[in-house]
Amino acid sequence: MEFARASALGVLAGVALWAAQEPLGWAPVAFVALVPLFMVAADGRSGLLAGAVAGFVYFGLLLRWVLVFGWFAWLPLVAALALELLVLGWLAGRMARANWALWRRALILPSAMVVLEWVRDRWPLGGFTWGELGASQAPSGFTRAAAAIGGVALLTWLVVAANVAVADALTRRRAWWRPLGVIAAVAITFGASWALRPSAPPVGTLSVGVVQANTFEGRRVTPEDMIASHLDATEAMVSEAGHPPDLVVWGESSLLTADPTPQLAARIVAAAGGAPVVANASVISSDDATFENTTVLFTRTGIADTYVKRHLVPFGERVPLRGYLDFIGSLAQVPRDAVAGSEPGLLEVDATAVGTLTCFETVFPDPARELVALGAEAFVFTTNNASFRRSAEPDQYVALTRLRAAETHRATTLAAVSGRSASIDPDGAVVDTTDLFTREAFTWDMPLQTDETLFTRLGHWVVWASLVCVSLAVVMFVRTRLWRARRSRVQ
């Protein structure tokens, strides 16, 4: 009976966590999604089981788009990520058995979750940020504002703290003012973050045209076909506006494997009415063994600048231990490994410093922070989500991009070769977006900022504070166990 109860409530928690993320984006649900897990853990016995079930259901639903590459890609990834909630459930159960006070649980459990997310954001194989609990708040302007203070980690901390308090109120039902106090503290923190959100006015604007022109859904396409589609869409955009924008942006893989040459630059810039154009190509090495995922800035004078992607996708752009994994047939889709770049992507467009990142890099906060430190006044991100078809992945990607904007207070242009492209203001609100696999183009006046948020300046202070909190909890636990052992020997 206990097994069935723990499993059922674990499923409920997993489904609720999934519903809080895109594509549903029911952000408020996140503040109660973990309550079933913590209620099971309150009896001190089944937290581990409920956490494992919740984690597998949550990440299994969230990452269904990974099944495009087969169950052998989806299953290990989901199982590894599920360990996060397994550990959280186990820890909640241990604390319940030790009868730890609410204030301790409301400090330690959120801190533990922050540390767990921080570890898997970096290890193994460079990390994976998808499914952070704080990312659920991307659609909510009020709660998203806290990202400028402490990044997604602060959002995660506050979400978990609220869940701990609600679960305590439902299971203990005594001293109701204690969980109410925790909930009030969470609300006050969000309110203060909203009141103190960055308010520096823009120092200018940059007119940006976004071109999305991969309509070749499910079909093989040549570089020339892809380029021609983008040229046509660019010419139509400029013609409709009556004048070129300050910058035109095409998505990742908009040139496929075409070599960026001065001749190609001339064709592309001419289509843009003379405006600079950011495009992207997979530049294959002369020996056909490797490639570089290269973002190129084309201008009237030719190739003005390039940026080579630095944070590569494991098993997407490079195959770790390739020689041992030949039996996985789908890895043939990655016939050569990408070579990472070494320099940050800071482009100069009409005396404006524009930071650029490519696809997977955008889901990590540090590259964006680095670009702001180097002087970036706005962001231009490119991505190619065509492999994931009409799944939830593009919506989830836009949500993560919104958080990068909110963390740094930088307007962001997201150009996706097949969708969803978007324009995002410095607070993380979406100004405009596109559908999937449609030929669309739009222009917008992208605000330019030079201010710095607290998160930009201090970085992962929430993580370091959480590490201290968890370390102190471990010391307290060990000391208590040693004291009890000595006491039992004396008796």
Contacts of residue 81, defined as CB under 8 A and 6 or more positions apart, other chains included, come to 55, 59, 63, 120, 128, 131
- 80-103 residue pLDDT tens: 999 999 999 999 999 998 889 999
Of 13-22, 69-78, 144-153, where does mean pLDDT reach its minimum?
69-78
Stretch 464-480: mean pLDDT: 90
Mean of the pLDDT values across residues 259-279? 97
For β-strands 378-383 and 412-416, DSSP reports them as parallel
Structure tokens at 126: 């460079």
E strands along 217-351, which residues?
247-250, 277-284, 290-299, 302-308, 337-338, 346-349
Evaluate whether 162 touches 183 at the Cβ level (below 8 Å). Answer: yes
pLDDT confidence band for 43 (50 / 70 / 90): confident
* Strand 346-349 with 422-424, pairing: unpaired
Query: CA-CA distance, 78 to 55, in Å (whole number)?
Result: 8
Exposure string (b/e) for 252-263, b if CB count within 10 Å is 16 or more? Answer: bbbbbebebeee
Q: Which two tokens stand for residue 415?
A: 């150009």
Quick one: fold of 204-451? Nitrilase/N-carbamoyl-D-aminoacid amidohydrolase (3.60.110)
d(CA 465, CA 460): 9
Alpha helices in 21-70 (DSSP H): 30-33, 35-41, 47-62
Q: Give whole-number Cα distances, 136 to 54, 141, 158, in Å.
A: 16, 12, 12
Q: How confident is the model at residue 164 (pLDDT cuts 50, 70, 90)?
A: very high
CA distance 62 to 85: 14
Other beta carbons within 10 angstroms of residue 444's beta carbon come to: 20
Give the C-alpha separation, 427 to 407, whole Å.
8
If 0-12 CB within 10 Å is exposed, 13-18 middle and 19+ buried, where does residue 337 land? middle
Helix, strand, coil in percent for the chain, rounding step 5:
55, 15, 30
List the structure tokens of 352: 């404006």
- Among the listed residues 299, 315, 364, the one whose alpha carbon sits nearest the alpha carbon of residue 127: 364
For residue range 171-221, list pLDDT tens digits in order: 886 777 899 999 999 999 999 999 999 999 999 999 999 999 988 887 888
Kindly report, residue by residue over 107-126, the tens digit of the pLDDT. 999 999 999 999 999 988 89
Q: How confident is the model at residue 373 (pLDDT cuts 50, 70, 90)?
A: very high
| 68 pLDDT more than 80 | yes
For 387-394, what is the mean pLDDT?
93
pLDDT computed for residue 216 by the predictor: 86
Listed in sequence order, the residues at least 6 apart from 95 whose beta carbon sits closer than 8 Å to its beta carbon are 104, 105, 108, 109
Cα 459 from Cα 120, distance rounded (Å)? 17
Residue 124's CB: how many other CB atoms inside 10 A? 11
- Would you give the DSSP letter of residue 97? H
Beta pairing partners, 262: none
pTM score over 0.85 = yes
CA neighbours closer than 13 Å in the CB half-sphere of residue 479: 6
pLDDT in tens, 399-435: 999 999 999 999 999 999 998 999 999 999 999 999 9
Please state, in angstroms and rounded to a whole number, the distance separating the CA atoms of residues 355 and 459.
18
Tokens at 280, concatenated: 């992207």
Task: Of 90, 66, 88, give the one whose Cα is nearest residue 78.
Answer: 66
Cβ 426 vs Cβ 445: under 8 Å = no
Could you tell me which residues are beta bridge partners of residue 423? 413, 432
**Res. 161: pLDDT tops 90:** yes
Say which amino acid occupies 273.
G
Look over the chain and give the mean of its residue pLDDT values, rounded to a whole number.
Answer: 94
| CB-based contact 330:70 (threshold 8 Å) | yes
Instruction: Answer yes or no: are the C-beta atoms of 416 and 384 closer than 8 Å.
Output: yes
Secondary structure element (H or E) that encloses residue 394, with its range: helix 393-408
- 3 state SS of 421: coil
| pLDDT at position 25 over 70 | yes
Tokens for 403?
């958080």
Count of other CB atoms within 10 angstroms of residue 376: 26
Quick check: helix, strand or coil at residue 423?
strand
Q: Which two tokens stand for residue 398?
A: 């836009």
Burial 319-336 (b: 16+ CB within 10 A, else e): beeeeeeeeeeeeeeeeb
CB within 8 A of 273, min separation 6: which ones? Answer: 238, 243, 244
Question: pLDDT band for position 57 (50/70/90)?
Answer: very high
CA dist., res. 481 & res. 491, Å (int):
15
